[in-house]
A and B are shown apart, each in its own frame.
Chain A
């Protein structure tokens, strides 16, 4: 592998600038003549906007403009789109209400913008915003998904009667009914998957700069996928054609999905910069992040699982209500359908599955993909179900899982996915060994003698990553293809620039992507740089989410590398007067195999550019492009086991141990993978114990600051023990499965399974706050 090649824990190249405060985020950028935007946001969850009086604000010093929702609609800026069409079981398309970038008539969640003040400074914009008088007529609101579907509930959009976006089904209902009719045992489970606020460290921000002479816009934005932002802004929002719009996503401080979407603020900044003729900057604060960044999860589910007399699963039926909030965000429709229900087979052989998902509007912040997106909800459901079943059937939970594991690959599930490879027993073995599962009963007994309630919980997750084969997602309703592109530019002196459509906002691409080049060419990673996040530099890209950057993005780089190597070999063979087939690449040299004849890589690069002595007919230069479209999803999987103690007096949970055995296929940089798993586990544990975005019955957010919303902190978390059991992914040449979301997908169930084991009661909702746990312990 070499010290910097694939498999080496190379220290992250990008950390020097981050740790020394030299990162360049959107808010660090200052343009000449820049103005500042402050949004006026609805304090009501549901209201008519009867009038906006900005006369006083316009007279204030430093105020450049006050622009309203009516104006943006009059200027024909497009409504926000949802990019994945879902069809209901009755064949009708999903029912969507219009979402203008600022509300001209009706606001439907607290925080929705109705107007924007543009001023000479941020503070002046805020001062002026307080002088703008918005006349609201409050309407009844509904925040809870189960309340929203009731007859007589407040209605959000006339297009969606009953607040229903869709009623979608998957699987074979007849086969499931037959399985339940014959079942020896049926296990039932009701659960909720709590709503989360993503809380990337860097709040969203945007700077729009309109050049009137060129009729050209530049947008600096906190995006995980700048090219998709440009595509959507051009094709649907009527901002500018693609060649007149440059989108730059510089350093971005975390996304977790929330920065995939194109938000109203970017649209307004672009539109406003043309209107005022100056650059416009908006930097969100933490409260705005809580109110307007797309939230995650928020499901209410009833599920039943059928077993035969051998404790083999024979069927699964699931009914889920998914809360979408007030509007359909960019990929929201796909999350509780194709990213959720298609994973309901878990790691198990389940011959028949049927799921129904009802998407519902409520007067809350829109909900979309958040780390794991649908797969944490599926994994939580299945793994809570397996634990519940083991308790009901009185068998060991690990043993029940083994009885039902899929062991033959490829495996076609009844819900679309075809798992390519895996070894679920191996990861469960590794996790059980790491935590000394066999010794648990003795530890529990000892803890009991000390007055402590100790529990253990298993979670065996699987996810579909490497999103995704374009043809497959297209057939399921996606509005885009999900390939990735790359360009490898070798400079005349032999240094290399990799242009990638993936976007790094914490993932460490500037290191791992270089490692591939180091591995193949034997050049040091210091000779390689990664260029990303600018639509003027990188031709196109689908961006980073769904654990796709290594499996898809890096594979695209590999494909381009292969083309570069092939041409370089021809040049080397020509220079060394050898046959191309005899050229091998070793330690930065192109060698004639079996001889000591060699030419260093920089000399090959130079030859390509001097073009003094190239093979006949060869074009000068050394630069290649590739687009890679995967053939299947990848299927990272693993086993997490958590051991913890509950304080019966306070209901507080303390971790004793947390082990993770993951199968991510090939690891490029194990240290970075470990960091990804740590972060994911923190979010999964955060969901299980701490985090909950709560609204009151009138749609007022209760958790709009860190004083109320519990973000996981280091001392809330155990030290993790990580290990890997590897089966290489057959779907891509590097054998990579992806690691970005696993922790967030698998951890929650392990924690809740362990707490419910400790307290001896199975019903416990997330987050398992001390109050909730205490109440459950002492409930009759």
Chain B
């Protein structure tokens, strides 16, 4: 069921009146407050803000890894608060690709096996999985590193494997939490190029958290988060 035409069809992600707080003893810690955000289909959005401003929290809410204390998150027409844990997991597997700052590859598995992980949850047969894995790895330029273990790859290469893992299921939305945060300028640049290509040529919608103005310059738009609220610019 597609929502009615208009702005909602172009807005892949709709965050409405979202609040997130954690209970620490008697104290309630507000992380996100009255937050509204829309991300269009095919948009490359950068999310910036000081440490602790709630960027990762927001990303987790959009990716269905966490639930808001109040408000609603809608992605691709699906209201996430309506899904139970199991439904959320299945939804994540289908629609979301995560890229993490520290790559988070499984050290025991080869690059190909790491990329294959999300496909294990699908009904694809072994040959199809293999084909998809090779395709994903060749898109990130690592078609020749199938059998390498993470420890045998450079940081930049590991991150590209991480991106391959994120795109192997052909998800609509890529959520990247500081994907270049742990990389040097050159490798970081390669990753940014890759994300840019994925957005422009493969039509992926990307939300990227970053501390690096150089990285955010590659995005279509930058949103600033400060103390849990979206602001026009970060106060000095």
- Are A and B co-members of a single complex? no
Residues of chain B having any CB pair with chain A under 8 Å: none
